[in-house]
Chain A
Amino acid sequence: MARNTAVVEHPELVRCTMCGNEFSQEEAAIACRACTLVGGCRKTRCPACGYEMPEETWLARWIRKRLGGRKTSGHD
């Protein structure tokens, strides 16, 4: 089985872990516009399917960069 490390052509994009859609933070911000919490929840919402992922924290980013892996949420 393939490892979940697809070629990163646009590292700034976030990949949704539910539907595989790749989107920018700007698109995610549009998806959050209608929400009551608008950005106060520390989560990233996929504009295609609505699935929410926790925003990547500094510690998570540090781990991912050392162990490898594809960005699936949050801001850099």
Chain B
Amino acid sequence: MAPVSTRLDPEIEDAITEVAALLRGTYRVSHRTLAILLLLGDEGVGAMVHRAEAAHHSAIERTVAATRQRLGRDIDVRIQRSRLDAARELAGKSLSSNTVTGRSVAERLGQWCARPWTGIPILALVVSVGLYWFVGVFGGGTLVELLEVQLFEQRVNPLVVRWTERYIPWEPIVKLLVGDYGIWTLGITYAFALILPLVGTFFLAFSILEDSGYLPRLALLVDRGFKRLGLSGRAVIPIVLGFGCDTMATIVTRILETKRERMIATFLLSLAIPCSAQLGVMTGLFAGKPTAFSIWLGIMGITFLMVGWLAAQIVPGEAAGFVLELPPMRWPTLGNVLAKTVSRMQWYFMEVVPLFILASVLLWFAEIVGALKYAVAATYPIARMLGLPEQAGEAFLFGFFRRDYGAAGLYRMQENHLLTGNQELIAVVTLTLFLPCIAQLLVMRRERGTKAALAILGFIFPFALAVGTLLNWTLRWLGIQL
């Protein structure tokens, strides 16, 4: 078989030769490989060469920097393309197939998912069927009705309350367990009766998408749009993970190449990406109200794009290039999908149940010492400003612990018919824009520094309230009743 050329395009080959000629040290890989990795901006190799080439590392770094500047940010794409061409050439020479050649259904579907004209309608279909109908209507409507109303409220909770009152003689302990903010009546009921069906359906839908190979195509689809926000398609990874857990996704922003990208992605995750539990509860709130769901989706989309674009103007620098290998589009396997869903649910509950119990204990303690009524009263002006009933302030206070905890509070208000359609939308939009939880604030401070974390926080709270207030005025002014 004739040898396959793995030569890159001439301009890059010249640059590689120039950099490789400057390397003097002894390495376990060839100077050519090192030169390629240096040109690709590999930080680990950069540090290794810096140590090994003590005498003249500055000359190497100058040459690499000048070459990268000259070749522009396409360098990694051009290298990757040359490698792919070589791999295709090799495969063409060494493999033969008896099957009729031509693109399979999976290949065609994969291409449709990644191209704007077909990819955007497919994305709209995924959001409406996967998120709205499956998570919102089925999870938030049917399953919550079964679990929360028919099982917990009508059967389990009255039994638990009766037994607790019968066997525990101390009033404060009874309140701690089954009071208004009790560990059972609030923490456990929220976690298992409300959030379990919502995150369960969300994780199931997400696992189907993940197992089918849709996510990398989504990354490709949004790459061009993300560049306008100062991000590359690679940022889809932390953004998609943010729909699972924003705190983890903030740590994953480390995979982004530039400090600028990391900063913008962290900011957008804090502001406009609801986490799985929050997304589940909020979609559940909109079950049977497709107009309100669409407005919420539109507001979050516009906020994401506008704030991202503004951040890209304020934070200087260029968007990095993006190369991602596309695995084939496949039919999801039941075993994989269920295994992933169960893993995620177990992981979620291990994290969330202790926090919900802690929040219940803190609220109970604040009620016992009489501080809760002052804290709740402090939220009344916010609720009034947003045109919401005062009790909604309590949900915002809960939302300080975790946004999903607050959203579950709104869900309860909706069940008790304490919110109109407009108020539901305003409350959900405002709560979505808040910072997801205290854990994210801590991780954000750790990853981006105190100054950046405070700046993000300083923007988010007034912005969320301003958007909520503006939405309230707009709905009134237009005379819209949802």
Interfacial residues, chain A to chain B (CB-CB below 8 A): 1-5, 17-21, 34-37, 41-43, 45, 48-57, 59-61, 63-70, 72-74
Contacts and interface: CB of A to CB of B under 8 A. Distances in A.
Given A3-B330, A20-B325, A49 B343 contact: no
Given A5-B333, A66-B335, A67-B338, A54 B344 contact: yes
B331 A2 contact: yes
Contact of B329 (A1, A17, A49, A53): A1
A73 B343 contact: yes
B151 to A, nearest CB: 22
A63 B342 contact: yes
Given A55-B347, A63-B338, A67-B335, A35 B106 contact: no
B327 interface: yes
27 contacts: A1-B331, A2-B328, A2-B330, A4-B331, A5-B333, A18-B237, A19-B325, A20-B326, A36-B446, A37-B251, A49-B234, A49-B324, A50-B252, A50-B254, A52-B252, A53-B340, A54-B347, A57-B343, A60-B346, A64-B339, A65-B335, A67-B333, A67-B338, A69-B339, A70-B333, A72-B211, A72-B340
Contacts of A54: 340, 343-344, 346-347
A9 B382 CA distance: 59
A64 B252 contact: no
Interface size class of B (residues with CB under 8 A): 35 or more
Contacts of B367: none
Interface in B239-278: 241, 248, 251-252, 254-255
B284 interface: no
A24 B289 CA distance: 46
Interface of B: 104-106, 109, 210-213, 215-216, 219, 234, 237, 241, 248, 251-252, 254-255, 324-340, 342-344, 346-347, 350, 443, 446-447
Contacts of A70: 333, 336
A55 to B, nearest CB: 7
Contacts, number: 130
B191 to A, nearest CB: 18
Contacts of A42: 347, 350
A3 B343 contact: no
Most buried by A among B109, B215, B330, B343: B343
A61 B339 contact: yes
B264 to A, nearest CB: 17
Given A2-B106, A68-B333, A43 B327 contact: no
A43 B255 contact: no
B331 A3 contact: yes
Contacts of A51: 237, 241, 252
Contact of B215 (A18, A37, A61, A63): A18
B87 to A, nearest CB: 14
Contacts of A35: 251, 254
B237 A68 contact: no
Contacts of B327: 19-20
A21 B36 CA distance: 21
Most buried by A among B212, B213, B241, B333: B333
Nearest first, the 8 A-B pairs at minimum CB distance are A20-B327, A69-B335, A50-B255, A67-B335, A69-B336, A64-B339, A60-B339, A4-B330
